[in-house]
Structure 1
Amino acid sequence: MPTDTGHWEIYVFAAGEGRGSTIDEDAGLDLNYGPIAGIQLTATLPTSFSHAPEEGWRSGSGDVELGVKYRFYHDEENGVSAAIFPRVILPTASHSPNEKARFLVPLWVGKDFAGGTSLFGGGGFTSNPGTGNRDFWQAGLAATQDLTRKLSIGAEITRQGAEVRGATSQTRVGVGSILQLSKHANLLFSGGPTWADHEVSYRFYAALGLNF
């Protein structure tokens, strides 16, 4: 759902993927603003951290993401909505192998049910230019359930094509929760395994969300 008109949603986040003691992590701000009804402007400003046994820790700027979410269908009575969320990922990271901007064009559809259950899913295409890179599709399905007025839990599964030549597709499964701290603040947590290149890695996400 897009950010309410005239309001901000800001997430202070940390997200990462790893295998053993090798970790790639981003931490930063995810800024969302609703300029008009049904439209959300988004900017993600990360700092990148990584750790490898042979190299130790290193840090630098991350890839900046800019996007516009447009909810083109909303049936409030039946709880159905649909939106597109095109984004551009700029090659601003200090240690990124990407030398060109990437473009993602996804479509998402959601349905709210009685009892606090929500189901949403979709997919999209990523244009991923650059030496050794390849374009790819991705799709996902997620469900959430309100346990109380302040606590929700959820689960998701996603499938993504290979980002570089010679790699394989990857499948991710995750579980998470949202805890409402106050009218204007909440905590988000999620994590789970990723299967790719015949190996299993892990990923995680944590954020403090503020809205005003």
Structure 2
Amino acid sequence: MRVLRDIILLALVVLSPSSLVWAGPPFITDDPQPVEYLHWEVYLATQWAHNKDTGTMGTLPHVEVNYGVVPDVQLHAIVPMVYSASPDSSTQYGLGDIELGVKYRFIQEDENGWRPQVGIFPIAVLPSGDSSRGLGDGYIKLFFPLWLQKSWGPWTTYGGGGYWYHPGDDNKNYWFTGWLLQRTFFSVLTLGAEIFNTSPKAKGESDETAFNVGGYIDLSEEHHILLSAGRDIKGKNTLSAYLAFQWTFGPREIK
């Protein structure tokens, strides 16, 4: 228990006070590694973002489910309950925009060499939230990214980027790029940091750069705690945070 307490304290100490699209929990940047064949990942999560000009928004909660439908292919869905509190209106709460995707890894990592694993993860964000109440965008959005990952012992680095189709009045399609470095400690704690950039998302806006730090704690083989926090380096001075409980399960042996 003392070891677990020390691990939790260490994880909290490194978190310092962006976007609400947490692609590779607990981070924004994703990786190419799909869920193992016939295995599941289920997240019960909450996320928060605050900007002094536009207010506070987040999810409370959202459920994310990933499933390894065939080897190297993962199905993905997020169903969020969203809240939005702008400075000049009352707080709104309800169903947000639902996210669906498919991750496909087409290059395996060479564990004894330099070749990384590589994959794609196209995502569709459906306009299921009420945009008139600030709970959704009102348009379907599409993301077409390419991700790479390489590991050496306890170290892992991954990243990449892609193109967002972002329709709407005064909106612009834009690029996302991000990279992350993380390390595993004590076999049960992983800590990492990422930096990412988005090109202008709307007319008259500039690009934005932000960072997050965080990690996850393996309570057991099936139960995990994930958390992260960060802020803009260049942009709207948004603070953000993420917290989730993750349940992973599936057959122990496939014959």
Q: TM-score per shorter chain, which class?
A: over 0.9
| Contact residue 195 and residue 201 of structure 1 kept, 8 A | no
Q: In the alignment, which of 121, 134, 153 is matched to residue 85 of structure 1? A: 121
Q: In the alignment, which of 58, 75, 79 is matched to residue 109 of structure 2? A: 75
Distance, in Å, in 2 between the alignment partners of 1:196 and 1:163 is: 14
Q: How many residues end up aligned between the 2 structures?
A: 210
Distance, in Å, in 2 between the alignment partners of 1:71 and 1:63 is: 26
Distance, in Å, in 2 between the alignment partners of 1:128 and 1:20 is: 24
C-alpha displacement of 1:72: 0.4
2:81 corresponds to: 47
Alignment of 1:164-175 (within 5 A): 164-175=202-213
| Contact residue 8 and residue 33 of structure 1 kept, 8 A | yes
CA offset digits 1:55-79 (Å, max 9, x no partner) = 3422111110100000000134337
1:205 corresponds to: 242
Identity %: 30
Gaps in structure 1 of 5+ consecutive residues: none
Distance, in Å, in 2 between the alignment partners of 1:130 and 1:19 is: 22
Distance, in Å, in 2 between the alignment partners of 1:162 and 1:180 is: 37
Richer in strand (by share):
1
| Contact residue 97 and residue 137 of structure 2 kept, 8 A | no
1:102 corresponds to: 141
1:15 corresponds to: 47
Residue 24 (structure 1) aligned with residue 57 (structure 2): yes
Distance 1:14 1:97, change over 3 A: closer
Gaps in structure 2 of 5+ consecutive residues: 1-32, 250-255
| Contact residue 128 and residue 136 of structure 2 kept, 8 A | no
Paired AA for residue 134 in structure 1: K
Q: Any idea what SS the aligned residue of 2:34 has?
A: coil
Paired AA for residue 112 in structure 1: S
Residue 118 (structure 1) aligned with residue 151 (structure 2): no
Distance, in Å, in 2 between the alignment partners of 1:121 and 1:196 is: 20
Distance, in Å, in 1 between the alignment partners of 2:140 and 2:91 is: 26
Over the residues paired in the alignment, what is the CA RMSD in angstroms? 1.6
Paired AA for residue 161 in structure 1: S
Paired AA for residue 138 in structure 1: F
Q: Which has the higher contact order (CA 8 A, sep 6+)?
A: 2
Richer in helix (by share):
2
Paired AA for residue 6 in structure 1: L
Q: Runs of 4+ in structure 1 displaced over 6 angstroms?
A: none
Q: Any idea what SS the aligned residue of 1:124 has?
A: strand
Q: In the alignment, which of 183, 186, 194 is matched to residue 224 of structure 2? A: 186
| Contact residue 215 and residue 228 of structure 2 kept, 8 A | yes
2:36 corresponds to: 4
Paired AA for residue 203 in structure 2: R
1:153 corresponds to: 191
User: TM-score of the superposition, structure 1-length normalised?
Assistant: 0.93
C-alpha displacement of 1:52: 3.0
Q: Any idea what SS the aligned residue of 1:200 has?
A: coil
C-alpha displacement of 1:10: 0.6
CA offset digits 1:60-106 (Å, max 9, x no partner) = 11110100000000134337211100000111112346332111000
Distance, in Å, in 1 between the alignment partners of 2:143 and 2:227 is: 24
Distance 1:163 1:96, change over 3 A: farther
